Amino acid sequence: MDDKTTFPADTSSTHALQRELVRHLRDMRESLRLEWVKQMTAKGLLAGLTPAETESESITIYDTCVGCLDTGRYDAAQDYARRMAERGVLRAMTSEQILGGMLTLRDVYGRTLADKYQGDMERLYRALDIYEPVANKILSIIAIAFIEERERIVRQQQEAIRELSTPVLQVRPGLLILPIIGVLDSLRARQLTEQLLRAIRANRAKMIVIDMTGVPAVDSKVANHLLQTVDACRLMGAKVIVTGLTPEIAQTIVTIGVDLSRIVTVNDLQGGLEEAERLLGYRVIAIHEEAA
């Protein structure tokens, strides 16, 4: 392959060859497309697509790729890749299906060029020089579009989880509960504290029960966040009771040596609520006991 670099770069003949390639691929469109679909079917890459969808999609992709080769511009490929990524991810197509399909198309194009120029190795190399960069560029456009779409969805979901995950609920006048579910990181702990402080002002809360049952692990950072939250609540005149520290978490906290003695802790949420009600001056009496 080294000797091909010694050919003088003849732009006019390169251009002519490019036209020839485009014409060839357009002429052979139906047979090559069917060959492509056949190969994809054999590899199981078309699972979940109807025949009609397969046909229209394959025609669009085929024409888009030839169009890129023809014009040297990739806007159409970029647009199409973005739309395909949106649909593909939504319809739970795997990246293997989409990238595998494109790689198959690349092979089909390459094979037909090899067939066409098999008698003339020099022309074949030059044709491949024209065709391969275009094919690679299209593939990378599609791969990137696919990855970007995935990342966009991950970001969106993270956002949604973050918003959902810190509800501050009022159970009685002046009594809020804050059930924490999932791992606490610095960002979340900060958001949680800010939300809680605003809720204290909005609800005129005097007692807060923070339930940690849903927190899988605690490290010194999380423990310190908890201490900060308790101090901040106190500055706003609210008292905090922490509940639901599992045996494992209790052991970790003592082992890593964080001093939580400033915090009032109660075994479970029920105990925490009862303690909070007691401190607020509520007494809950069952109706039959009251009557007795």
Partner 1 sequence: MQVPILKQGEFLIASIQSALTDTDLLQLRDNLVQRAGDWRARGVIIDVTVLDVMDSFACRTLRALAQMLKLRGAETVIVGVQPDVAFAMVQLGLSLEGVMTALDLEEGMALLQRQTQRGGHNVRSSARAH
Q: Which residues bind partner 1 (CB under 8 A)?
A: 193-194, 197-198, 200-201, 204-206, 228-229, 231-238, 280-281
What's the min distance (Å) between Cβ of 204 and partner 1?
Answer: 6
Residue 235 or 287: the one with the smaller Cβ distance to partner 1 is: 235
What's the min distance (Å) between Cβ of 43 and partner 1?
Answer: 56
Q: Are 53 and 122 in contact (CB under 8 A)?
A: no
What's the min distance (Å) between Cβ of 267 and partner 1?
Answer: 25
Residue 149 or 275: the one with the smaller Cβ distance to partner 1 is: 275
What's the min distance (Å) between Cβ of 180 and partner 1?
Answer: 17
Residue 52 or 235: the one with the smaller Cβ distance to partner 1 is: 235
Residue 102 or 241: the one with the smaller Cβ distance to partner 1 is: 241
> Is 214 in a helix, a strand, or coil?
strand
Residue 91 or 262: the one with the smaller Cβ distance to partner 1 is: 262
Q: Name the token pair of 145.
A: 């579009």
What's the min distance (Å) between Cβ of 65 and partner 1?
Answer: 55
Side chain identity, residue 288: H
Q: Name the token pair of 127.
A: 């044709």
